[in-house]
Chain A
Amino acid sequence: MSETTRNRIIIDIFLFIAVFIVPWWVMLLIVLGLLFKYTHFYEAFFVGLIIDALYGIPLAMFYNFRFVATLTALVLFIITFYSKKLLTFTR
């Protein structure tokens, strides 16, 4: 197992535990950082899905749509995917 894979597994385990106890906005910052660090950080979808499963309820603010965090993760994934091509520090 390469060091990169091992690091990624450790990060995934940390994320899986953190999502239950860490405030949602801290998770958002962590996931955003990891989206920039890794080429395809698919785990972001699962973090969004877990947040929605734990805390999501239909709210008028979001037109009763309950997968707001998952949708946010998808949007962030797409934004970071394209912005990484334009930014020099991620190359």
Chain B
Amino acid sequence: MSYLLKSSRDKKRSAFPFLVLVIFVVIVTLIAFIFPSFFPAVFTKIASPFWKGEHALTGAAASVLVTKDELVAENANLKNEIETMKSQGLDAGLLQSENDELKAMLGRTTEKNLVLGVILHKPPVSPYDILVIDVGQKEGITKGDRVLASGNIVIGEVAEVNGEISKVKLYSSPGEKYDIVIGTNNIPATATGRGGGNFETVLPRELKIAVGDTVTIPSISPLIFGTVGTLLGDPARPFETILFKNPVNISTLKWVEVVKK
């Protein structure tokens, strides 16, 4: 009777992949526990030339694939936009400098120590709602540094620094919670990330939050977090869900500014 022997051999054979699996899990867990930055440091070093090469190639391809007429038209449009924005920005600039002077008189400075970072990877290429940027330890970036887009729109913070590369956790990562202030009445609330630059918060209906209200992060120089987009709620209930989003489109961003501590 060879049935028992065959069966036992089959069992051994089917157990082999799981033995490999267990060994793999044990080794990875041990390394990750003893040297937490080992895997990120090694693979980021290997990935760095690929990412930089890919970024240079896509940039070159984009500049080659645009026709002369398109560039001329785009140039004219951009010049018009600059003129319009210049005239609109005059008042804002005056108010900003007056604001800075008043704060300086009271002993508070609003100057930021910024480092420009090129985005190497962003969603949907990267999972988990994170950005990979090309600045790191050499530029003095540290964990927890805030990351801005378009000057004063805060989009996330540095979660990990690996040599010349940093990972930025977007505030909109699902489930992440942050303290915010809504509207001109400075109503405090807690924002919860919903992914893709979207957030939600729940507040009493009687606070009269309106669509278009600005959401900021409490700070000496307010950083814009988003603008209220939608209000959801049943008139019979005392609370409403407020949905808001970053004013910048993360998928079209090319670079960000990191505020060094």
Q: Which residues of A contact B (CB under 8 A)?
A: 17, 20-25, 40, 42, 45, 49-61, 67-70, 74, 77-78, 81
Contacts and interface: CB of A to CB of B under 8 A. Distances in A.
Given A20-B47, A20-B50, A40-B17, A45 B177 contact: no
Contact of B47 (A45, A54, A61): A54
Contacts of B128: 55-57, 59, 61, 68
Given A23-B124, A57-B160, A59-B176, 6 more contacts: A20-B46, A57-B130, A60-B177, A67-B28, A74-B21, A77-B21
Interface stretch (B35-43, B73-81, B91-99): B35-43
**Among B39, B130, B159: residue with most chain A CB under 10 A:** B39
6 contacts: A23-B124, A40-B17, A45-B24, A57-B159, A68-B128, A77-B17
Nearest to B32: A67
A57 B124 CA distance: 16
Interface in B206-245: none
Chain B's interface size range is 20 to 34
Given A20-B50, A21-B50, A23-B125, A57 B169 contact: yes
Contact of A52 (B17, B21, B39, B176): B39
A59 B218 CA distance: 23
B54 interface: yes
Given A42-B20, A55-B130, A74-B21, A61 B50 contact: no
Interface string B187-213: 000000000000000000000000000
Nearest to A82: B14
